[in-house]
Chain A
Amino acid sequence: MESEDINRDVVHPEVRAHINSLVSALGGFSADDDGKYTLGDDALECLRDMRRWIRFYDEKTNRMDVARCIADANLVGGDLLHIIALWTENCSDSKFKARIALACYEVMVPLTWPIERNRDQMTINHHRHIPVLQLAQLGYKRAIINFDGAPILHTAVRVALPSMAMPIGERTPRDQGIIKLMLFFLRNIAMIAPPHGVKYEGDESQISRSATIDAFSYQDIFLTLLTIASNMGEDFRTEDVTVMEIIFHIVKRVDVKKLFLEEQQLNKAKADELSAAMEKEAAMLRSYKKTAPKRHNRFGTMIWVKRENGKMTSLSGQDALIDSATRELKMDRSKTFRPPKRSRKEEMEPKDLGPPVSLNHRANEQLRGFVEEFLDSGFNPLFQHVRKSIDREAAHVLDYHRSQFFYLVAWFLEAERMRRKAKKGKKPTEISPDDVSSFNLVASVLNQEMFITLNRWLDRAYNDKDWPDLVAVMKAYTQILLTVQEMSDSGNEEDEEIADNILNRLFYEEATHDAVANIVRTYKDQGFEYLDACTDLTHTYLRILEAYSKQNVDLTVRSRKRTRSKKKAATAAISNEDGEGPDNMDDDSANDEANAERTSKERKFDFKRFALRFATQGVVDTFVKYTKYYQDLDESQLKRAHRYFYRVCFKHEMSVMLFRVDIIHLFYNMIKGPEPLDKNNSMYKEWEELVKQIIRKCVKKLEERPALITELLFSKINSTAHYLEYGYEKQTISSN
């Protein structure tokens, strides 16, 4: 026994010995009887011992030694799955086997439990074992969802079925525990994924999301989830967040747009994607080629650039001959100095959700089926229940459930919109009776309580600096706004009325306006996902509010009063506003008709004032930072930035805000720089036009006000910006 002599093992040798003896006592493949798995005599006790080891050695003393030993002994793949397979469908009534199967799951759940890092109580043992265990968990997942002998996931449901069949009042704590255990098992399996930055060495298709969805669909897990979700609040109560978690891990990062495409459309979309990517690469290479040397690299060109008062700069390389822009770029690139405080490198990929997933056709179909059925039956009961649980801060709700909830609300609302779109494309006339119900399907997240929750968490996440949470809330908000907007355009009177009511309530709260404006104004390296979410929310919010403020005459009197008092305060604060404002507001004693008319007018007026808040330097900077990713943004994202800048420059006439050298530099380089936007991009033309207009305006302004040449370097303050924008000719401009 040489391996035992050299005591290099990372776990205590006695622990390993104990575990190994337990594993071997569990059972094995018999030599006769054509190699079937045979249970050991005391298999059940062995399993219980194993559980005790995990609980009292690993969990109590905060080690991972037992888990490590079990991983080394290949317990899950070698024994547990085969034991579970013994409990076949036709021996369902065998009590002993059912009990053994349950004991197997009781061991497997802690083994597959997600491992958290960065906890305070991490010891050296954790650092030693976690990398091994994470890979081991991947192995468990592969073994479980690809096991040929028996549907392991389905068997888990079978274990819990007797408890589930009972009415909720009659369930014992043990029954509830079994249901929980089964749900946690499914959750763990759905959740296990290759850890960040680790390349899985086996066949990835065996543990990918597609394989998981396939297994879930094939083993009727989706049906179970649907059943539990649609009975939420009746037969199930505290299971709500766990079910939600399973769904979250199944659908996270799945592209909703692709989900509702038919096979041919999907193939076409994928082909388009490929050709677009190739085209992009070609464009990139073309742009490099423009400045690439025509001769070999030791050709040795050297030139002088004459500068002011006899100064010379020398540059080498043939590309220096091309034009002055290239020369300046070369001069700039040769500098090595970096400013001392540079921010962390921002990453496009969100870490906590993992990379975007691509599903194969089969999984796509299965997931779509599930999503549609879930929307039809499970969405309202489940999400209403979860929302209530979150609101009353129930004990079983953990912190991360909240962001999962908001993420899922956003995801499913988008899915519902996509589904409507897909339906519409198919048969444009028939769906009008369906339409009524379609918005009802997601009604539980469009009610007033939901908005209260949403606003509260928006505030709280912002104040607690909980950015991932805030991202989820913003996403949910955006999707709700889009859904409501679609509702108000649906052509169905009832829906339109409801939508109108919702919008009325939504935009009535000035606090929300403040929150949205604040969030986008105060962005500072929170990552790309945050940037994306907050710009999207701003864009949607502004757009819908604008449309709404234009068309509505019948706003409540109360709202009018409120805005007026607010506005009075505002005008008192900003005393340099022109004379129009105070005049409008002075006479309160008009009759209702006039009141109503003026309300809508005031709304519009109000909107202008409101929109001006988004024309401040902070918001502009956020959008500029966002636009810096222009190479990686897709069309809708580019459009969003484009609309914003257009709005600032031409609608609100605060173009001065954009007149800063780094912004002009960015805009210019997007179109004419060394790495421009792809010309085939559908947004290219619009951006080109916009940048052109902005530059033209900037040049014009420079001539009008020479002071701008220095101000071009700095962020403007509102007062100076106003002068620079309007100058002394302000009166005549506003009277025009």
Chain B
Amino acid sequence: RKEPSGLGIDEEVEVKKRVTVPRVKLDEARLLSENGIPKLRKRAKHLHLKGKGHEWSDASKLLSFYQIWLDDLFPKAKFLDALGMVEKAGHKTAMHKARMDWIDEGKPKDKTFD
């Protein structure tokens, strides 16, 4: 069953290219998608912070608000890591534009005309 040379050295070895599943990333596309920042903005309407006198509970509420949103959006990363990724994605052009738009939405109408 074996060739005389025996060891199979002469046979050509085929190098198969392994197809790896692309890694899921927390990039600007994901952030701008339905589940991304639009959802955050939607949810923010239900975020009621109490203001003066309730600083600690407010901060904890705020943090858990972001944490749950990030956990839904990108479940595999830890909170602080995910925050870092989001921050990094924020420097991309598309994100930049979107950020400016969100800010402009908040500006009063008369300011946008002049």
Contact = CB atoms under 8 A, between A and B. Distances in A.
B58 A699 contact: yes
B26 to A, nearest CB: 9
B51 A332 contact: no
A712 B58 CA distance: 15
A335 B83 contact: no
B103 A723 contact: yes
A220 B18 CA distance: 73
Contacts of A349: none
Nearest to A704: B106
Given A324-B64, A668-B63, A728 B107 contact: yes
A338 interface: yes
Interface stretch (A38-46, A236-244, A414-422, A713-721): A713-721
A703 B45 CA distance: 11
B44 A709 contact: yes
A659 to B, nearest CB: 10
Interface in A680-734: 691-692, 695-696, 698-700, 702-703, 705-707, 709-715, 720, 723-724, 728
B56 interface: yes
Contacts of B60: 325, 668, 672
A703 B47 CA distance: 11
A728 B108 contact: yes
Interface string A653-693: 00000001110110110011000000000000000000110
B72 to A, nearest CB: 7
A709 B41 contact: yes
Contact of A710 (B37, B76, B87): B37
Contacts of A709: 40-41, 44, 47
A667 B63 CA distance: 11
A34 interface: no
Nearest to B49: A699
B83 A713 contact: yes
B102 A707 contact: yes
A696 B51 CA distance: 6
Given A662-B84, A709-B41, A710-B102, A335 B90 contact: no
A661 B69 CA distance: 13
Interface residues of B, number: 47
Nearest to A692: B55
Interface in B27-68: 37, 40-41, 44, 47, 49-52, 55-56, 58-60, 62-64, 66-68
B76 A337 contact: yes
B93 to A, nearest CB: 13
Q: Looking at A311, A328, A720, which has the most chain B CB atoms within 10 Å of its CB?
A: A328
Given A668-B63, A702-B49, A720-B99, A707 B55 contact: no
25 contacts: A328-B64, A331-B71, A333-B78, A335-B76, A339-B84, A339-B85, A662-B83, A662-B87, A664-B59, A664-B63, A665-B80, A667-B59, A668-B63, A672-B59, A695-B55, A703-B51, A707-B102, A707-B106, A709-B41, A710-B37, A713-B83, A713-B86, A714-B86, A715-B87, A728-B107
Interface of A: 307-308, 311, 324-325, 328, 331-333, 335, 337-340, 660-662, 664-665, 667-668, 671-672, 691-692, 695-696, 698-700, 702-703, 705-707, 709-715, 720, 723-724, 728
Given A333-B78, A699-B49, 18 more contacts: A308-B68, A325-B60, A335-B76, A335-B78, A337-B81, A338-B81, A340-B23, A662-B84, A664-B63, A672-B56, A695-B58, A696-B51, A707-B102, A714-B86, A714-B90, A720-B99, A720-B103, A724-B103
Closest 7 pairs between A and B when the two form their complex, measured CB to CB: A714-B90, A707-B106, A337-B76, A695-B55, A709-B44, A707-B103, A668-B59
